[in-house]
Amino acid sequence: MGKPVTKTDIRFTELWREQREGSKIGYYLLYTFSWGLVIIFISFFLLMFMGGISIIPIAQDNNKIVLIIIIGFILGFITALIVRARNEKRYQKILEKVRKGSV
Q: Establish if 20 belongs to a structural domain.
A: yes
Q: Is 61 among the domain residues? A: yes
Per-residue pLDDT of the chain (103 residues; tens, 9 = 90+): 567 788 898 899 999 999 888 899 999 999 999 999 999 999 988 988 888 777 777 777 788 888 999 999 999 999 999 999 999 999 999 998 888 876 5
Confidence (pLDDT) at 103: 54
pLDDT (0 to 100) of residue 60: 79
Residue 103 resides in a domain: no
Instruction: Kindly report the three-state secondary structure assignment for every residue of the chain.
Output: CCCCCCHHHHHHHHHHHHHHHCCHHHHHHHHHHHHHHHHHHHHHHHHHHHCCCCCCCCCCHHHHHHHHHHHHHHHHHHHHHHHHHHHHHHHHHHHHHHHHHHC
Its pTM stands at 0.82
Residue 43's domain comprises 7-98
Query: Does the residue 2 lie in any domain?
Result: no
